[in-house]
């Protein structure tokens, strides 16, 4: 009886190898990590940010541009509730800078609207457009709403600095200035205020982009037009390469 009791007690002790084999830390893959991150941030969709530059026709009115884009945003938002568009539209004499923040699907439809207008060759204030940067899955917005600002820069700010700079330096300055301007808007404007109007060069002249920089980026061949971007967006990921195709097909002997 004593022998059986000793056997029962020893059987309850785990072997040393079993202790080593037990996982000490729960292991999750990268997909679970991203899903948990999105759940904690209470996001319904991934947030993207797009930087655009475009050339406009002469004598364009701020009211016409504002009403047009607000109508586009509303038509896109109807089937996509909860995906608002925030950003900034800077209107210069012949060029515009447009920063948009929303889901990839919403940004995709905004580009499609531009492409449809261009194909129809109707009356449209944008004559050409280039995509400078697209940032995917950004952690947060830098704009609380969508603003339109008309830039009437004095002559003293119109010196061309792109002649002595490389493309990389111009892009760096472009992104740096736009982010500084976004931070200025975030700190100074309250929710519901449409923007500082046409007097932005007075409170923050050092934050304004020179129109020559926008013109330089617009004319650079390194940046895509919306049609090229949309074609790449719709292209299938799984592409069969020529090196994967063997003819005649291999056969077993």
What 3 state SS string does the chain have?
A: CHHHHHHHHHHHCCCHHHHHHCCCCCCCCHHHHHHHHHHHCCCCCCCEEEEEEEEECCCCCHHHHHHHHHHHHHHHHCCCCCCCCEEEEEECCCEEEEEEEECHHHHHHHHHHHHHHHHHCCCCCEEEEEEEEEECCCCCCCCCCEEEEECCCCHHHCCCCHHHCCHHHHHHHHHHHHHHHHHHHHHHCCCCCCCCCCCCCCCCHHHCCCHHHHHHHHHCCCCECHHHHHHHHHCCCCCCCHHHCCCCCCCCC
For the segment 122-135, what is each residue's pLDDT rounded down to a tens digit?
Answer: 678 898 999 999 99
For the segment 49-58, what is each residue's pLDDT rounded down to a tens digit?
Answer: 999 999 998 7
Instruction: Work out the percent of the chain whose per-residue pLDDT is above 90.
Output: 32
Q: How confident is the model at residue 156 (pLDDT cuts 50, 70, 90)?
A: very low
With a cut of 60, say whether residue 62 has pLDDT above it: yes
Q: What is the pLDDT of residue 28?
A: 63
Which residue did the predictor score with more confidence, 199 or 117? 117
CATH of 41-233, one of 3.30.70.100, 1.25.40.10, 3.40.50.10490, 3.40.50.2020: 3.30.70.100
């Amino acid at each position: 009886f004593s022998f059986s009791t000793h056997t029962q007690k020893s059987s309850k002790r785990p072997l040393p190898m079993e202790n080593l084999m037990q996982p000490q830390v729960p292991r999750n893959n990268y997909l679970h990590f991203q899903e948990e991150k999105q759940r904690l941030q209470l996001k319904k969709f991934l947030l993207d940010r797009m930087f655009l530059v475009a050339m406009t026709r002469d004598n364009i009115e701020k009211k016409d541009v504002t009403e047009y884009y607000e109508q586009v945003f509303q038509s896109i938002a109807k089937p996509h509730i909860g995906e608002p568009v925030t950003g900034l539209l800077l209107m210069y004499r012949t060029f515009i800078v447009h920063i948009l923040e929303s889901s990839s699907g919403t940004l995709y439809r905004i580009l499609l609207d531009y492409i449809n207008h261009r194909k129809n060759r109707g009356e449209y204030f944008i004559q050409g457009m280039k995509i400078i940067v697209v940032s995917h899955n950004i952690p947060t917005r830098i704009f609380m709403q969508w603003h339109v600002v008309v830039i009437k820069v004095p002559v003293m700010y119109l010196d061309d600095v792109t002649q002595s700079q490389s493309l990389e330096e111009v892009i760096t300055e472009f992104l740096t200035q736009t982010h500084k301007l976004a931070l200025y808007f975030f700190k100074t404007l309250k929710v519901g205020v449409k923007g500082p109007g046409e007097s932005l060069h007075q409170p923050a002249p050092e934050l304004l982009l020179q129109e020559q920089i926008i013109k330089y980026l617009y004319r650079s061949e390194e940046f895509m037009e919306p049609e090229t971007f949309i074609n790449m967006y719709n292209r299938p990921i799984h592409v069969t390469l020529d090196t994967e195709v063997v003819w005649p097909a291999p056969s077993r002997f």
